[in-house]
């Protein structure tokens, strides 16, 4: 048991600990938001639909702008521990960042797990909107052929 604990502590030694997201995570968030907007516009039709789609697209544009602003703003780390390397001004690769830890209010998560938790809501919304958009287009096409 000691050998396993010693080996495990060596493999996790000097891992990156950060409270900022990697730029690729922001790129994925932006891409998923754009994917959502593309499929929202699959519901275009007569009447007030276009106006409402424009409003929804505006809200999503505001959220994407806020994501861009947040990707540019960072706070400096407050504490340093002996077994971790805190973020610095040098850019880290995505692989190095994902193998490290992400500081949250209640402790630390693995950065890869934090990325999944952050991307899951927008990814499910984008995929769900795509499914609804495809279904809407199929039904509309079948109704126009009758």
- At 99-117, the pLDDT tens digits run 999 988 888 999 999 999 9
pLDDT number for residue 130:
95
pLDDT number for residue 80:
47
pLDDT band per the 50, 70, 90 thresholds, residue 118: very high
8 A C-beta contact, residue 19 and residue 105: no
8 A C-beta contact, residue 99 and residue 111: yes
For the ranges 40-44, 91-95, 124-128, the lowest mean pLDDT is seen at: 91-95
8 A C-beta contact, residue 101 and residue 18: yes
Mean pLDDT of 27-39: 92
Q: Strand 101-104 and strand 107-110: pairing?
A: antiparallel
Mean predicted lDDT score pLDDT of the chain: 80
More confident residue, 28 or 80: 28
For the entire predicted model, the pTM comes to 0.73
More confident residue, 94 or 15: 94
């Amino acid at each position: 048991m000691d050998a396993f604990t010693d080996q495990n502590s060596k493999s996790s030694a000097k891992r990156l600990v950060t409270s900022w997201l990697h730029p690729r995570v922001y790129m994925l968030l932006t891409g998923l938001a754009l994917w959502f907007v593309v499929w929202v516009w699959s519901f275009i039709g007569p009447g007030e639909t276009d106006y409402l789609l424009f409003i929804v697209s505006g809200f999503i544009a505001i959220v994407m702008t806020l994501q861009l602003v947040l990707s540019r703003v960072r706070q400096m780390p407050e504490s340093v521990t002996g077994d971790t390397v805190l973020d610095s001004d040098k850019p880290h690769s995505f692989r190095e960042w994902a193998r490290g830890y992400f500081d949250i209010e209640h402790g630390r998560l693995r950065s890869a797990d934090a990325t999944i938790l952050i991307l899951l809501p927008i990814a499910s919304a984008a995929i769900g909107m795509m499914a609804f958009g495809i279904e809407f287009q199929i039904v509309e096409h079948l109704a126009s052929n009758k």
